[in-house]
Amino acid sequence: MDNNFTQWRQQHPGATFDNYLQMVAIAENQIPPEPPKRKMDVFKSKSLKKNTLIVLITVLSASVGGWLGKEAVGAVKNSKKTTTQILDRQWMKKGYGEKNSLTLESPWELNPTSKISFPEEVKQIIEKIETFESPENKNEFLKVAVNILTYKPQAGVLNMQGAADGTMNGVKNQPGITNFLYDEQPYSVNSIPGFIQKGSYSANGFNYEFTSIGLIRELVCWQIMIILKKDDKTAQKVAQRIVKSISI
């Protein structure tokens, strides 16, 4: 069962989000639940509620991954190989999010953005969404994004694997993306648990590589993603330096 709601809706025109949640629950439990009569009925069963929340978290993460995958392909494809001068110039260390909860060092300040489109149905478990991206320019050699999701208490214990799978589904399901490969490993920053995903893909005749990091503490999920042209050695060093600088 594909947990990408956007793709599923394209394959099932006219279907509702409640239909989607039912089908996911059936796929995971193999036991058809009683069809919900009202929107909130999907939360009556504890097991169905758990499955529903996992799906919602997966869909939210897929929205982030899909947005950045699309943005990066458009931004980075025309760039030339990165000059080593960027490693020698003054970098900016800055905090992002409420109370500057996440700090990282980069060649430029990340700008707030509201470009990510989240399905209305999943906003019911979100308290706050904060997203930042690297500046747009014609010679952008890599794309960096930070997304901070603060969930409402009803989300319960956040599902790490749902966030990880959703991010990758969002990237690989973008139109034109092929040869999608990645590896996932446990990861932590300042003792905050999470995951790191590294991989590559092709799109529009170009090859890209990426690093995606997800960290979860209580009701907050931090996502950091970097996409660059494959085999750009200097851009790889920039990405590695950004990752090493992350602090929460």
* pLDDT the model gives residue 172: 83
Neighbouring CB atoms inside 10 A of 47's CB total 12
Pairing of strands 126-133, 142-151: antiparallel
The whole-model pTM stands at: 0.75
48/131 Cα distance (integer angstroms) = 30
pLDDT tens, per residue, the chain with 248 residues: 444 555 556 666 766 656 655 554 444 444 344 444 444 343 444 444 455 556 566 766 777 676 666 666 665 665 667 888 889 999 999 999 988 789 999 999 999 987 777 777 777 788 888 989 888 765 567 889 898 989 888 777 777 888 888 888 888 888 888 999 999 999 999 999 999 999 999 988 888 999 999 999 998 999 999 988 888 899 999 999 999 999 99
Neighbouring CB atoms inside 10 A of 34's CB total 10
From 212, 216, 220, select the one nearest 196 (Cα to Cα): 212
Q: Which two tokens stand for residue 214?
A: 């997800």
CA distances from 207 to 142, 143, 203, 220 (A): 13, 14, 6, 33
CA distances from 2 to 67, 136, 195, 209 (A): 18, 32, 21, 24
65/116 Cα distance (integer angstroms) = 10
* pLDDT the model gives residue 70: 65
63/210 Cα distance (integer angstroms) = 17
* pLDDT the model gives residue 230: 87
Which domains are seen in the chain, by residue range? 5-245 (3.40.1000.10)
